[in-house]
Structure 1
Amino acid sequence: MAASQARAATYYVIVAGLGGEPDYEQRFTAAAQELDKTFRTGGNAAQVDTLSGSRATALQLKQTLATVANQANPEDDFVLVLIGHGSFDGTQYKFNLVGPDMTGADLAAMCDRIAARRQLVVDTTSASGGAVQALERPGRAVIAATKSGTEKNATVFARYWAEALQDPSADTDKSGSISAMEAFTYATKKTAAFYDSQKRLATEHAVFDDVGKGEPVREAGNGQGLLMTSFTLLQLDPAQASTNDPAKRALLTKKESLEQQIDELKYQKAAMDPADYKKQLTDALLQLAKVQGELDQ
């Protein structure tokens, strides 16, 4: 058993879908890059593929998942993270990509071909709740940024999902690692706090299912949450595990403030002078990129 565990790997596939607007493109890509870097630092057993920009196509995603299917063993773990926009027509969910979109059923079929017995799909897009039924399967945990396909506004859940894996305080049980459940709890609380701080009605309510059937839930209980609690997303570097790093905490706080500023600008866009909006947005995006660069160092 020890030899089998030593060979086990985790395969991560991260996709930043079509943004539609330059600021969304930048933010989706930035979130994907953050996750890419974070997962690559998780150890030699991490296999990471990230698709963004012109590479975020249905064909490229199919090829990437086919490669994972050819390589992954049953004892390995598999994680798929979708960032961007989604849509739901009342029957079918679609993930917006460059070129043809991909349905929830398409994604499920490709994941089904991957032998890894433990799987996690994190769909952070708008309308992602509409994909849960198609994706759920025993042994696969599914997280959606919205409780249904009818919550169609752009989400902020992806931002806080990425932040959870950068913030050691997400490790609430002090195990030296961050589980899928800990990351979900962190991102959910941060998302709710964002809407409270903006004094806006929340337009997204994250849910999960990790028993493979039935309606998704917002909290663990009645069997829900066991797989996500045992699913380790990231092993923390002992040198970075302490939450008493004031410099990093300050950067994370500044980053969150800038992201909220950008969202507030988008909310006020219709009432602003276009030139003023563009200037303020550009300045905020540049500052955000600088802060992220400092975090990455």
Structure 2
Amino acid sequence: MSWRWLRFFVIGFTFLLTPLMVVAETHALLIQGLGGEAWYQRQFDEQVELIGESLKGVIDEAHLTILDVSAARREAVVEWFDTVATGSVETDSVLIIMVGHGTFDGQEYKFNISGPDLTSGDIRENLDRLAVQGKVLLNTSSSSGALLELLSGESTTLLTATKNGNERNATRFGRFFARALGDTGADLDKNQKISLQEAFDHAERATSDFYDEEGLLATEHAQLSDSSGAQLAARMTLANLGGAESLQHSPELTQLIEERDQIDREVESLRLQRIGMSDEDYQFVFQSLMLELISVQDEIELLERGDVE
């Protein structure tokens, strides 16, 4: 037998003995809850858009489901779990991100969506159906910290905007988390990618800074719990910064973003002062700020699309 044929034989035999490589997939679900008020709805719209665009750059769109506020219903969420339960393998991972409002009555957590709310029981039951190794749940809502106890023992990496179910005020964490996915400052290891851990850490610092700068008592304390021991938060990439043109350094865009953030802060301050204002005065100031916010946001979107002369 010639050396060439022997080489082909060895390669072929080795191939037959080597198990077929299974490519691990990440199955992602992004859920947008009800805003209740126009201002919150606009905040959630922006957050879901930013998070969704980032995920499209790192996750196969065939495995990415985004349920906006009109599509987010309990049956749609259960249907997603049905699909993943039958279409995933053990080496896969799942990522569930919930953006919205939540409540906790001391026994059960509820995420506010159209129709019946999504409960902590629903979440636990459906997570139990998945045989995948990696499970990650990020919940940016008020009272989301209740899940740390209610889902304990689920071998799931949990990231919540609050430390327990009793932190019931609307949160700022989600806004900072969504924006972190496009912020090079969140990329601590400078690899042009932002991991779940990096985005969480960046948002946690920004949230704390917000309360400090406004002189407010912090009503939310984000938490990360990894009972799986797999350090999925550090290994899971949520954003790819490389290769895309960025307008971050455009002075005009930077100024507009600062203006938008300032208006956001003014709206937050207004809400805190509402008790001492008449409804007429509150609505007048609130609507004025919203019109200003819409105008600035429209200018930002024009710049981001490049539709400026």
TM-score strictly above 0.5: yes
Residue 16 (1) aligns with residue 32 (2)? yes
Amino acid at match of 1:20: G
Residue 216 of structure 1 corresponds to which residue in structure 2? none
Residue 131 of structure 1 corresponds to which residue in structure 2? 147
The structure 2 residue matched to 1:205, chosen from 221, 228, 232, is 221
Preserved CA contact (<8 Å) 2:136 2:232: no
Q: SS at 1:90's partner residue?
A: coil
Residue 151 of structure 1 corresponds to which residue in structure 2? 167
Residue 32 (1) aligns with residue 48 (2)? yes
Q: Distance in 2 between matches of 1:252 and 1:4?
A: 46
Preserved CA contact (<8 Å) 1:93 1:149: yes
Change in CA separation of 1:242 and 1:98 when aligned onto 2, cut-off 3 Å:
closer
What is the CA distance between 1:170 and its match in structure 2?
0.7
Residue 217 of structure 1 corresponds to which residue in structure 2? none
Residue 101 (1) aligns with residue 110 (2)? no
Q: SS at 1:53's partner residue?
A: coil
Q: Distance in 2 between matches of 1:85 and 1:71?
A: 30
What is the CA distance between 1:276 and its match in structure 2?
3.2
What is the CA distance between 1:175 and its match in structure 2?
2.4
Amino acid at match of 1:231: M
Q: Distance in 1 between matches of 2:248 and 2:274?
A: 37
Residue 64 of structure 2 corresponds to which residue in structure 1? 48
Change in CA separation of 1:263 and 1:75 when aligned onto 2, cut-off 3 Å:
same
Q: Identify which range, 15-24 or 149-158, moves more after superposition.
A: 15-24
The structure 1 residue matched to 2:261, chosen from 244, 256, 263, is 256
What is the CA distance between 1:88 and its match in structure 2?
0.8
What is the CA distance between 1:260 and its match in structure 2?
2.2
Change in CA separation of 1:267 and 1:288 when aligned onto 2, cut-off 3 Å:
farther
Stretches of structure 2 lacking an aligned partner (at least 5 in a row) = 1-17
Deviations 1:121-140 (A, max 9, x none): 00100001111223344642
Residue 119 (1) aligns with residue 124 (2)? no
What is the CA distance between 1:21 and its match in structure 2?
1.2
Q: Identify which range, 284-293 or 178-187, moves more after superposition.
A: 284-293
Residue 184 of structure 2 corresponds to which residue in structure 1? 168
Higher-Rg structure is 2
Q: Distance in 1 between matches of 2:35 and 2:248?
A: 34
Aligned-residue RMSD, C-alpha: 2.8
Amino acid at match of 2:132: A
- The percentage of counterpart residues that share the same residue type is 30
Stretches of structure 1 lacking an aligned partner (at least 5 in a row) = 213-222
Preserved CA contact (<8 Å) 2:54 2:240: no
Q: Distance in 1 between matches of 2:80 and 2:254?
A: 35
Deviations 1:254-275 (A, max 9, x none): 4433432332333334423422
Deviations 1:260-297 (A, max 9, x none): 23323333344234223222223213423542554466
Preserved CA contact (<8 Å) 1:42 1:236: no
Residue 234 of structure 2 corresponds to which residue in structure 1? 229
Preserved CA contact (<8 Å) 1:94 1:103: yes
Amino acid at match of 1:266: R
Q: Identify which range, 84-93 or 21-30, moves more after superposition.
A: 21-30
Amino acid at match of 1:275: F
Amino acid at match of 1:155: T
What is the CA distance between 1:50 and its match in structure 2?
1.3
Change in CA separation of 1:29 and 1:241 when aligned onto 2, cut-off 3 Å:
closer
Deviations 1:167-187 (A, max 9, x none): 122110122321121111100
Preserved CA contact (<8 Å) 2:256 2:296: no
TM-score after normalising by structure 2: 0.81
Residue 193 of structure 1 corresponds to which residue in structure 2? 209
Q: SS at 2:145's partner residue?
A: helix
